[in-house]
């Protein structure tokens, strides 16, 4: 079961960078091919940049060519939740952190096996915790 993290929008604004706040709390997106994790290949776990909940394992990451980090599945089925997104005249499925309700990106049914899903996630919504001696320091989505 996911432990809930609740903060006011003012509190989120205080703990997140302006860009991360725009993406995660105002449902923004970063330009394609600009995020630090798009072409990143470390081994470990990607966490929510807002609340630190584990979201995706590096073993689920794949190169989709979309310009954003893409994953086949979350670390646990209940790590993320989805909602229908009808903004900009499109019909998409939004992906949110199940712990803090922050916007992460969208999921599409055009991914590889075994799930057939492509979780297309903003780098700014992620922070990476590496495994091994050379990746013991946490990398954050904010620089």
Q: Do you know the residue count of the chain? A: 143
Where are the strands (E) in the chain, listed by range? 44-48, 54-57, 61-62, 70-71, 80-85, 92-97, 103-108, 118-121, 126-130
Count other C-beta atoms under 10 Å from residue 131's C-beta: 13
DSSP reduced 3-state for 39:
coil
Looking at residue 108, what is its pLDDT? Answer: 97
Query: Which tokens in the block code for residue 46?
Result: 């990607």
Query: Which tokens in the block code for residue 93?
Result: 């499925």
Looking at residue 133, what is its pLDDT? Answer: 46
- Reply yes or no on whether 120 is catalytic: yes
- Could you tell me the domains of the chain? 9-135 (2.170.150.20)
Interatomic CA distance for residues 25 and 113, integer angstroms:
31
Predicted TM-score (pTM) of the model is: 0.89
Q: Of these residues, 48, 97, 100, 120, which one is catalytic?
A: 120
Looking at residue 138, what is its pLDDT? Answer: 44
Tens digits of pLDDT across the chain (143 residues): 788 999 999 999 999 999 999 999 999 999 999 999 999 999 999 999 999 999 999 999 999 999 999 999 999 999 999 999 988 888 999 999 999 999 999 999 999 999 999 999 999 999 999 986 444 344 444 43
Query: Which tokens in the block code for residue 51?
Result: 């609340």
């Amino acid at each position: 079961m996911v432990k809930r993290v609740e903060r006011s929008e003012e509190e989120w604004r205080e703990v997140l960078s302006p860009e991360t706040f725009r993406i995660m709390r105002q449902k923004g997106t970063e330009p394609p091919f600009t995020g630090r994790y798009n072409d990143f290949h470390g081994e470990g776990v990607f966490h929510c940049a807002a609340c630190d909940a584990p979201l995706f394992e590096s073993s689920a990451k794949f190169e989709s060519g979309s310009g954003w980090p893409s994953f086949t599945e979350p670390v646990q089925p209940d790590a993320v939740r989805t909602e229908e997104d009808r903004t900009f005249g499109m019909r998409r499925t939004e992906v949110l952190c199940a712990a803090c309700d922050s916007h992460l990106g969208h999921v599409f049914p055009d991914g590889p096996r075994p799930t057939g899903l492509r979780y297309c996630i903003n780098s700014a919504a992620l922070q990476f915790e590496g495994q091994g001696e050379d990746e013991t320091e946490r990398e954050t989505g904010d620089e």
